[in-house]
Amino acid sequence: MSLYVKNITKTFGENVAVNNISFRVEKPGVFGLIGTNGAGKTTTIRTVLGIMSADSGNSEWEGKKICRESLSFGYMPEERGIYMKTKVLEQLIYFGMLRGMSKKDAKNSALSYMKRLGVTEYKDMPAEKLSKGNQQKVQLITTLIHNPLLIFLDEPFSGLDPLNSIVLSNLIKELVAEKRFIVMSSHQMSTVEEYCEDILILHKGKTVLHGNLKQIKKGYGHTNLVVSRNNGIMSIASENGLELISERADELEFKITGDEMANAFLKKVVFSDIMPTKYVVKEPSLNEIFVEKVGKFER
């Protein structure tokens, strides 16, 4: 069971919004489509689902071409698409029935997801009376009500406050545990790092980087060293060829080429009678990789 996107291209006039994009999602979990606003993430998702017709290429699920009439997928767009004047439970039942569910099954599923997302108390209220965060939860329930195996979430954390972000985060983890296939677009690198095993970075409609996130970090060519800010640290780092990449109130972060460089630096620090309270070697962040790769792509 897999999603296979093959050489999709989509243009709007002379603007190439998606340029020959290919990827596979072959196991349950979260696949990340990453890019800045306007990179082509939403157009990619809509073209994969057949909501927009591709100029060339196609997408398959379980070996069959995907078409917009399919009822077996879940899609949550970034823009809300719920009825503001309609009571929450009433419209959730309606959306469930549109997905081929009986009224009874749609109601039971709606109530179950409302409980999981903490919005049961609003079931008899029109959506316009809910906060933006709770409206987004209702939007998510319309996506999941028919329990789809393949789910597309377009910037799901956009506009959520920290508490609602935690609720959504927990639900995504539950969906992964239930062996769902999730394609999630985001421009928030920390979000992607938390959920995604495999990623595709888009920039101006083109693939910049594609693969397993752990392998991408491992093959990046360097690691980072975080050390507490002490007198003399900067001069020793400079003498030993360490590149400063981040500076915070109480710590410094340097780019290093491996453990040998880190150990040599530590020896010189200790030899200079400097005792740092923090000394951590860590992998580069996705944000760092993203900035570098997109920057090279621009050049």
Pick the CATH number of 221-282 from 3.40.1210.10, 3.30.70.260, 2.160.10.10, 3.40.50.12780: 3.30.70.260
Stretch(es) of the chain classified as CATH 3.30.70.260: 221-282
Write the secondary structure of 39-74 as one string of H (helix), E (strand) and C (coil).
CCHHHHHHHHCCCCCCCEEEEEECCEECCCCCCCEE
Which of 199, 198, 200, 151 is CA-nearest to residue 174? 151
pLDDT in tens, the chain (299 residues): 899 999 999 999 999 999 999 999 999 999 999 999 889 999 999 999 999 999 999 999 998 988 776 767 999 998 878 999 999 999 999 999 999 999 999 999 999 999 999 999 999 999 999 998 899 999 999 999 999 999 999 999 888 888 889 999 999 999 999 999 999 999 888 888 888 999 999 999 999 999 999 888 887 767 888 888 878 888 888 888 888 888 888 888 888 877 788 888 888 888 888 877 788 887 888 888 888 888 776 66
Q: Which one-letter DSSP state was computed for residue 242?
A: P
3-state SS, one letter per residue, for 160-222: CCHHHHHHHHHHHHHHHHCCCEEEEEECCHHHHHHHEEEEEEEECCEEEEEEEHHHHHHCCCC
* CATH 3.40.50.300 domain position(s) in the chain: 3-217
DSSP class of 24? E
